[in-house]
């Protein structure tokens, strides 16, 4: 199924583009010219999350932001499993389709492992990396694993599917970013029905189920990408991926790393601190 939703051009002033992957029809935007920046979102968001950053950088870079299958304006294929491994494969197909070479990858939340998984298999084509509030190693903290177990239970799966719980409570709730009503509705309307939210419902369980993939990334990323110029932009008030532990792990994995702390930003850094992120990327990759 496809989503019957057209974003407001005043909020999302981009041309929609489409790629027929091996698993389904993928939506993405491709704005500007110059070195390619590939933006990878997490859950429960879509490429709308990067709108301010794309607008701020498209005069200097080629800005590509993708919606994974099951998210945003992309297709919801019945036969797709919506696992991190499957999203990684489809993203790799898009990178190859666009013939990206010398590209800079930005990943936040699940966009980190999805993007790094695709990039590590194409390391010779990667110019640099931007990581924000993400991990590429097994997720061990008890709070994260408890969240995974609770959200994967039958009652909570029902609430995710029927009440759009992940969007309404974790993105648009009290601890989420400050958004206008129109902006909030763009996140709601990208996940409008129970059937449309099937991919969203899979993600919490992946915190535990994707462990083998994350174990492999913990080895591959330092080995294959560890010498790439890297920027970490971190929301220091994030309760999902704690800054101290995560940044130290990233420091140990990359030899050419700059860290920019975002003191007031929480998990959804692209909403909380887009101007700071835009400036940090432009300064790191002139």
Assigned domain for 156 exists: no
CB 118 within 8 A of CB 56: no
The pLDDT of residue 175 is: 86
Rounded Cα gap, residues 188 and 120, in angstroms: 33
Which residues are 59's β-sheet partners?
A: none
The pLDDT of residue 36 is: 98
**Spatial CA neighbour of 112 closest among 93, 87, 132:** 132
Query: In terms of residue numbers, what domain contains 91?
Result: 17-139+211-284
Write the CATH number for 250.
Answer: 3.40.50.1820
Tens of each residue's pLDDT in the chain, 286 residues: 999 899 999 999 999 999 999 999 999 999 999 999 999 999 999 999 999 999 999 999 999 999 999 999 999 999 999 999 999 999 999 999 999 999 999 999 999 999 999 999 999 999 999 999 999 999 999 999 999 999 999 999 999 999 999 999 999 998 899 999 999 999 999 999 999 999 999 999 999 999 999 999 999 999 999 999 999 999 999 999 999 999 999 999 999 999 999 999 999 999 999 999 999 999 999 9
pLDDT digits (tens, 9 = 90+) for 82-95: 999 999 999 999 99
Domain count, the chain: 1
**196 DSSP 8-state letter:** G
pLDDT digits (tens, 9 = 90+) for 217-268: 999 999 999 999 999 999 999 999 999 999 999 999 999 999 999 999 999 9
Assigned domain for 186 exists: no
Please state, in angstroms and as integers, the Cα–Cα distance from residue 234 to each residue in 123, 146, 248, 285, following that order.
24, 23, 12, 17
Prediction pTM value: 0.97
The pLDDT of residue 286 is: 96
Assigned domain for 173 exists: no
The pLDDT of residue 164 is: 98
Assigned domain for 237 exists: yes
Phi-psi region of 102 (alpha: psi -120 to 50; beta: other; left: phi over 0): left
The pLDDT of residue 210 is: 97
Assigned domain for 168 exists: no
Assigned domain for 169 exists: no
Phi, psi of 262 (to 5 degrees): -110, 95
Q: Which two tokens stand for residue 191?
A: 């996940």
Task: Give the residue numbers marked as catalytic.
Answer: 109, 238, 267
CB 19 within 8 A of CB 25: yes
CB 53 within 8 A of CB 26: no
Rounded Cα gap, residues 30 and 263, in angstroms: 30
Phi, psi of 149 (to 5 degrees): -65, -45
Assigned domain for 42 exists: yes
Assigned domain for 52 exists: yes
């Amino acid at each position: 199924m496809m989503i019957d939703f057209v974003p407001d051009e005043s909020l999302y002033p981009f041309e929609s583009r489409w790629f027929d992957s091996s698993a389904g029809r993928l939506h993405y935007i491709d704005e500007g010219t110059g070195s390619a920046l590939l933006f990878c979102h997490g859950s429960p968001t879509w490429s709308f999350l990067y709108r301010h950053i794309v607008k701020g950088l498209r005069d200097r870079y080629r800005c590509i932001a993708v919606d994974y299958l099951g998210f945003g304006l992309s297709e919801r294929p019945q036969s797709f499993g919506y696992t991190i491994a499957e999203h990684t494969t489809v993203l790799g197909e898009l990178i190859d389709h666009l013939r990206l070479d010398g590209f800079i990858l930005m990943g936040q939340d699940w966009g980190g492992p999805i993007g790094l998984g695709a990039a590590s298999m194409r390391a010779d084509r990667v110019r640099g990396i931007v990581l924000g509030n993400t991990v590429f190693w097994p997720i061990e903290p008890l709070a994260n694993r408890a969240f995974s177990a609770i959200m994967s239970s039958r009652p909570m799966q029902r609430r995710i599917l029927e009440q759009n719980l992940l969007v309404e409570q974790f993105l648009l709730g009290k601890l989420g970013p400050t958004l206008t009503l129109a902006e909030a509705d763009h996140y709601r309307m990208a996940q409008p029905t129970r059937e449309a939210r099937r991919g969203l419902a899979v993600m919490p369980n992946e915190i535990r189920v994707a462990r083998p993939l994350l174990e492999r990334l913990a080895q591959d990323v330092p080995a294959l990408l560890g010498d790439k110029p890297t920027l970490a932009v971190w929301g220091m008030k994030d309760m999902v991926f704690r800054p101290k532990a995560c940044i130290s792990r990233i420091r140990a994995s990359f030899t050419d790393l700059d860290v920019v702390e975002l003191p007031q930003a929480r998990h959804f850094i692209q909403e909380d601190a887009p101007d700071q992120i835009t400036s940090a990327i432009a300064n790191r990759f002139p």
